Amino acid sequence: MSDRNRALVAAVDRPMVMHVFTTPTCPHCPRAVRLAHEMAFANPQITAYAVEVTEFPDLARQYHVSGVPKTVVDDVEILGAIPEDAFVAQALGAVASQKTRVDQD
């Protein structure tokens, strides 16, 4: 992960859970899982799970997984293999929108 993204991830100040849905034959899934786990390693507030959809079909149905990699952070879905900067921005956007909702309540 780039130093810029590592600094953004380190600034997360509330719990964040990421589920990365994968299949064994997906060539792009390992990169998505690696990036989610790097984010979790960089900040103890972040937890990342790699979920193999054929082993956990109930979770796949719950999160409406129809393609992989699919990363779910709160109500934000990150579909496919996207560049690191976009992945981090979208994942952290979920935390920012959650914080805004909490602050408004």
Domain of 99: which CATH number? 3.40.30.10
Q: How far is Cα 16 from Cα 94, in angstroms, rounded to an integer?
A: 9
Task: State the pTM of this model.
Answer: 0.86
Q: Half-sphere exposure of 12 toward its Cβ, with a 13 Å CA cutoff?
A: 27
Of 74, 68, 34, the C-alpha closest to 54 is 68
Query: Residues 42, 9: contact at Cβ < 8 Å?
Result: yes
Q: What digits encode the pLDDT tens for the residues 57-70?
A: 999 999 999 999 99
Q: Any residues with CB less than 8 A from the CB of 19 and at least 6 apart, and which?
A: 49, 51, 59, 63, 71, 72, 73
Could you list the residue range(s) of the whole structural domain that residue 15 is in?
3-104
Per-residue pLDDT, averaged over 23-47, amounts to: 96
Domains held by the chain: number: 1
Confidence of residue 102 (pLDDT cuts 50, 70, 90): very low
Q: How far is Cα 30 from Cα 86, in angstroms, rounded to an integer?
A: 17
Q: Any residues with CB less than 8 A from the CB of 9 and at least 6 apart, and which?
A: 1, 39, 42, 43, 46, 88, 92
